[in-house]
Amino acid sequence: MSMTPRVLEIRQKVLSKNDEIARALRERLRARGIFTLNLVSSPGSGKTRLLEDTLGRLVARGVRVRALVGDLATDNDALRLARSGAPVKQILTQGRCHLEAEMITQHLEGWDLEACDILFIENVGNLVCPSSYDLGEDVRVALLSVTEGEDKPLKYPAIFNSADIAVVTKVDLADACETDLALLRANLQAIRPGIRVFETSARTGAGLDDWTAYLIEQRNLRARDGAVVD
């Protein structure tokens, strides 16, 4: 975004309109007991891989999950995720660098939201622009791969500061990348004190039980009929 005054003024209007749409969307999703997560990260940090594993685990446990997947181009990610058996839709942004609440509203059309416990939204891979756009989610999840280095929370503070949860990915590569996990944790806490952090590896499965348990706990808290998933 450019900050010449006229553009700034118009951007504020766009953001404010996005916030209104996001607010209405959140109320609608919450009224149906849906737990909604917005996954943000750099390109290649493992959002799609985490979602593949997560959808598979949740479907196997009887949780009704759906996913919307944002990309500039290609529907590769939706095809990967659909293998889990969960309903998945690709949102092609046609070059736009982030998802907006209106795109979510549009792509939910035609879906039976009564048959959904958890909605995942995978944002465009971008550590900057998505931080400004509320998508009506309950929680924003910032992923950070150990291969990206310990300093990313400090260098991209807005996205980590606006996140509710951090998922550190590819922890099995920490030694190979000489990544200092204690420093990475400290940098996350410096930018977002108290943030809940899951440390995961898709390859070894580390951390995925805790992550899945958290999602099921959140799903059960919202179950309107009181029927919980074990």
Provide the binding-site residues for its own copies, judged by CB under 8 A. Answer: 1-4, 6-7, 10-11, 14, 18, 42-45, 71-74, 76-77, 95-97, 100, 124-129, 145, 147-149, 151-152, 154-158, 170, 173, 176-177
Indicate the residue among 2 and 230 with the shorter CB distance to its own copies.
2
* CB closer to its own copies out of 66 and 152: 152
Strands 35-40 and 118-122: parallel
CA 33 to chain centre: 18
Please report how the helices 5-31 and 101-108 are oriented relative to each other, as an axis angle in degrees rounded to 10: 40
Q: Least distance from C-beta 195 to its own copies, angstroms?
A: 17
Query: Which strands sit side by side in the sheet containing 65-71, from one edge to the other?
Result: 88-92, 65-71, 118-122, 35-40, 139-145, 165-169, 196-199
**Dihedrals phi, psi of 141, to nearest 5 degrees:** -115, 115
How near is the Cβ of 92 to its own copies at its closest, in Å?
11
Q: Which residue has 């606006």 as its token pair? A: 162
Alpha helices in the chain (DSSP H): 5-31, 47-60, 76-82, 101-108, 152-155, 157-161, 181-191, 208-222
How many residues does the structure list for the chain? 230
Query: Shortest approach of its own copies to residue 37 CB, angstroms?
Result: 21
Whether residue 177 contacts residue 75, with contact meaning beta carbons closer than 8 Å, is answered with no
Q: Is 169 helix (H, G, I), strand (E, B) or coil?
A: strand
Instruction: Kindly state the smallest distance separating residue 71's Cβ from its own copies, in Å.
Output: 6
Which CB atom, from 35 or from 120, has the smaller least distance to its own copies?
A: 120
User: Shortest approach of its own copies to residue 32 CB, angstroms?
Assistant: 28
Identify which of residues 57 and 152 has a Cβ nearer to its own copies in the complex. 152
| Shortest separation between residue 196's beta carbon and its own copies, angstroms | 22
Residue placing its CB nearer to its own copies in the complex, 187 or 212: 187
Residue nearer to its own copies on the CB measure, 74 or 106: 74
